[in-house]
């Protein structure tokens, strides 16, 4: 049997290519909301980030998600990423 290829995606902060399962997907929905997409299947413009507090903080400081998703991302959303997503992935 052939080994399956692992899908790679690029982190918009670090510009590193990593397996899709190591990254988290952030989506701007067609309605304009910015949400965390744990299934990676929601429709809309997506951005992948490495699942670590440092990367989330760097994205907040440089406002990378707002530029990539072409909409304003609130600080509350970054707080959610740091507290819920980074700690959940690290366990």
Picking from 18, 27, 8, the residue whose alpha carbon sits closest to that of residue 52 is 18
Please report the pLDDT score of residue 91 as a whole number: 46
Q: What is the token pair recorded at 67?
A: 């530029």
Could you tell me if 30 and 44 are in contact, meaning their C-beta atoms sit under 8 angstroms apart?
yes
Could you tell me if 55 and 13 are in contact, meaning their C-beta atoms sit under 8 angstroms apart?
yes
Q: What is the pTM of this model?
A: 0.87
What are the sequence ranges of the domains in the chain? Answer: 8-90
Please report the pLDDT score of residue 73 as a whole number: 93
Q: What is the pLDDT of residues 42-87, one digit of tens each?
A: 999 999 999 999 999 999 999 999 999 999 999 999 999 988 876 6
Q: What is the pLDDT of residues 20-35, one digit of tens each?
A: 999 999 999 999 999 9
CATH code of the domain made up of 8-90: 3.30.1230.10
């Amino acid at each position: 049997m052939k080994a399956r290829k692992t899908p790679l995606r690029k982190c918009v902060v670090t510009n590193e290519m990593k397996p899709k399962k190591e990254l988290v997907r952030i989506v701007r929905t067609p309605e304009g909301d910015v949400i965390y997409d744990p299934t990676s299947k929601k429709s809309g413009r997506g951005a992948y980030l490495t699942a670590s507090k440092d990367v989330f903080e760097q994205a907040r400081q440089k406002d990378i998600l707002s530029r990539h998703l072409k909409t304003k991302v609130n600080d509350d959303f970054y707080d959610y990423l740091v507290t819920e997503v980074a700690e959940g992935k690290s366990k």
